[in-house]
Amino acid sequence: MEGIGQILKTTKPGILIVDDNDDILEYLSHDMEKSYQIFTAKDGDKAFSILQHEMIQLVVSDVMMPKLDGFELCEKIKLTLELSHIPVILLTAKNTLQARIQGLKAGADAYIEKPFSLDHLYAQIENLLASRLKLKQCYAQLPHVHINSIAHTQMDEAFLERLVNTILTHLDETQLDVERLSVLMNMSKPTLYRKIRSISDLSPHDIINLTRLKKAADLIHSGNHRVNELAEEAGYNSAGQFRRNFYKYFKMSPSEYIDKAYQKSSL
C-alpha cells in the first residue's frame, strides 16, 4: 500500500520567474531549470494568468515592471483565495527601508536586493519550500497535528478551517468525495482540487481521510478506545477500512495509537 511519504513526493517544484529583462529571465531560467520546473513572464499581468493555469509552488519576481509591478502582483496573489498560499520572493534594486516595508505590506515572503548571488536566491527558495514541506509532512503523518499548521496566510487558515468543518459536519456520509465536497464548499471541482493540492500536496480524498482519522484520534484521547465505535464515529463503513487507512497515513494501527495514548495519560 502506498504510504504518505510517497503521496507527498512530487516532481520538480514549479517556479514562476517574473522580470521584464530578457537577459535576467534567460539567466535565471537556464540555471534553475536543473532543479525546478520553470515558467517565465515579462510582466505581472502575464504572471497572474500563468498562476491561474499552472501548478506553481513559488514566485520569484522583479519589482519594477510594466502593467503590474512586483508589489502589486504579490498583493494580488496574497488576496486571491486560490493563490494566497504561494510564497513570493521579490528581487529589487530598491534597497531603502521604505521599499522593504512596502514589500512586507504586500505579503512578500522574502526580499532580495539586486545585484544578488544565485547561491543566496537558491538558499532562500529551498528554505521556503523545505519549511512548507516539513509542515505538510507533519500534518499528514502525525494524528494530533491540526490542518491550520500548514496555513501561511489568514485567507488560507479561513479556507482550511471551513474545509475541515464542512467535512466534519458531513462525517456520516461514508461516500463523501471531491464532487460532493466541491458542492458543499461552493467551489468548482478543479478549483477545489488545485487549492487543496497546492496548499497540502495532498488530494481532496486524502484530506477527507485525514480529517476522519484525526477525528478518531481526538476521540481516542477523549477516552474512547473501541475500534469499531471509532470507525463508525469517523464515518467508515467498516473497522477494517478504518484500520487500513489509519496505518496507511500514520504508520501504526489504531490499537497501537490507543496504547500510546493510554501510556501517556498514565504518566
- Give the end of a domain, one of 119, 136, 153: 136
Give the pLDDT confidence score for residue 10 in this predicted structure: 55
Give the pLDDT confidence score for residue 21 in this predicted structure: 93
> Which pLDDT band, with edges at 50, 70 and 90, does 182 fall under?
very high
Same domain, 16 and 103: yes
Give the pLDDT confidence score for residue 128 in this predicted structure: 95
Same domain, 181 and 163: yes
Question: Count of domains in the chain?
Answer: 2
With 90 as the cut, is the pLDDT of residue 153 above it? no
Structure-model confidence comparison of residues 87 and 11, the more confident one? 87
**Cis geometry, peptide bond prior to residue 143 (ω within 30 degrees of 0):** no
Give the pLDDT confidence score for residue 247 in this predicted structure: 96
With 90 as the cut, is the pLDDT of residue 2 above it? no
Give the pLDDT confidence score for residue 232 in this predicted structure: 95
Q: What is the strand order of the sheet 14-18 is part of?
A: 37-41, 14-18, 58-62, 88-92, 110-113
Same domain, 125 and 153: no
Structure-model confidence comparison of residues 89 and 55, the more confident one? 89
Q: Are strands 37-41 and 14-18 parallel, antiparallel or unpaired?
A: parallel
High-pLDDT (> 70) share of the chain, %: 95
* CATH code, domain carrying 245: 1.10.10.60
Same domain, 146 and 131: no
Give the pLDDT confidence score for residue 6 in this predicted structure: 52
- Give the end of a domain, one of 89, 111, 136: 136
- Give the end of a domain, one of 136, 163, 183: 136
Ranges 10-14, 27-31, 149-153: which has the least confidence: 10-14
Same domain, 47 and 106: yes
> Which pLDDT band, with edges at 50, 70 and 90, does 148 fall under?
very high
Give the pLDDT confidence score for residue 198 in this predicted structure: 86
With 50 as the cut, is the pLDDT of residue 120 above it? yes
* CATH code, domain carrying 119: 3.40.50.2300
Same domain, 52 and 93: yes
Under 8 Å between Cβ of 86 and 59: yes
Under 8 Å between Cβ of 18 and 44: yes
Same domain, 221 and 105: no
* Separation CA 258–CA 141 (nearest Å): 16
Q: Write down the mean pLDDT value for the chain.
A: 90
Average pLDDT of 41-64? 95
Same domain, 125 and 109: yes
Give the pLDDT confidence score for residue 254 in this predicted structure: 95
What's the domain range around 111? 4-136
Same domain, 59 and 172: no
Same domain, 151 and 261: yes
Apex 209 CA angle, 208 and 210, nearest 5: 95
Give the pLDDT confidence score for residue 1 in this predicted structure: 42
Quote the pTM value: 0.82
Same domain, 25 and 66: yes
> Which pLDDT band, with edges at 50, 70 and 90, does 38 fall under?
very high
Same domain, 125 and 231: no
Give the pLDDT confidence score for residue 99 in this predicted structure: 78
H-helix or E-strand spanning residue 18: strand 14-18
Q: Give CA separation, 119 vs 31, 124, 137, 146, in Å.
A: 11, 9, 26, 34
